[in-house]
Chains A and B, each alone.
Chain A
Amino acid sequence: MKLSRFFKVLYIIILGFVFFTFKIHSAENINERVKKLTLELRCMTCQNQSIYDSDAEFSNDIKKIVKQKLQEGESEGDIKKFLVERYGEYILFRPLMNYNNIFLWSFPFILLIIGLFFVLIKTKGKKI
């Protein structure tokens, strides 16, 4: 079997599974949503620790606020916006996808596309 086809098969299987599982995964309970969100927030009084991992007073307060706001039905985006207004963007471990950070977010994938083209062009038309 040709290797390229071999890998195509593997890739399609994996992508299929991922797609399939994303559908199932959408329902979560409140504690998991709090965990997911607070893992992406920086504890401002600790050293490079997420709010979820930290037991500092600051983190416990934010955990309470996040939980309360989620229960009130606010979206993750709203909560993040609220926290950024209060503490600045520094609190977000996942940088916002805004004008300033466009380079940060696009750079790896631009490189990946360039790399992919490089390999495809170099290997094009060579068959055994």
Chain B
Amino acid sequence: MAIKILAPGLSTTVQDLGRPGYYHLGIPLSGGMDRFALRVANLLVGNDEGAAVLEAVFMGPEIEFTADAVVAVTGADMPAKVDGAVQAAWTSFKIKAGQKLSFDFLQKGARAYIAIAGGIDVPVVLGSRSTYTLGALGGHQGRKLQAGDELALGSAVKSVAAGRSLAESLRRAPGAPAELRVLPGLYWHRITDESGRQFFDDTWKVAPEADRIGYRFRGGRPLGFVPRKQPFGAGSDPSNIVDACYPYGSIQVPGGTEPIVLHRDAVSGGGYFMVGTVISADMDLIGQLQPHTPARFVKVDMKGALTARHDRASLLGRVRAALAS
């Protein structure tokens, strides 16, 4: 059983929950940028939560099915169509051998997750089927999909009916402006108090360059740095530090002008200071931001970050319970 890619969309990749454990060697986490939507898509078609799916950004692919299958599309609002007939989002539907899955224009959000019962069966590389395109690792031949690609599917774990749906109250999407909660980091002392306030007061906009490696924002006031003699090993710009590890979610601000939130395909270290880290509970939301979307950074403390993580885990628990049968 397989699917054929007739048109790939802009950048459609195979993703699962990611490849943790190698970041210290420079191999990033990868995996879906909105892992909540990825998990739900899998649950809707009866897969394990971490089965491999297709992540389509901004523009959907066109896919021909060679066998009957159950499919669900979650995440961005980009209506799925079977031979032209629109299907409900966040809901499982059937597709028959020979039928084509295509997508309407993106209406809201950025990334759609296409789960197929049985999952996408590409080789497991370092514990994951996720594609890391920059390193040509994992997924289908280490790259985004192209027209003519054929992907094998696994065997369905359990058979599920069409029409399984996740209640709207359990879905998640960024607000307007998007609010991204941030825990100030180890290098917070490098910027002036006034800059620290402005960073959180200003409304930023997603830059069109934002991708799986990092989400760049612009439009806020530049940061002012506390003067210092740059230490040995640090570059000459005040935004430089002696090389350090870059956590997933960390916000570097090269030159003090445009914050970049490192995401699933991030580089693991370098010489830019980091103002703080977007909390894990809000990382999925970033994956749904379109270019030019307004966004604000909201300061939280460790307690706030942990509470948000707990809330998120309990939301996932409610989703699992709702889709258990």
- Do A and B truly interact? no
Interface residues in chain A, defined as those with a beta carbon under 8 Å from any beta carbon in chain B: none
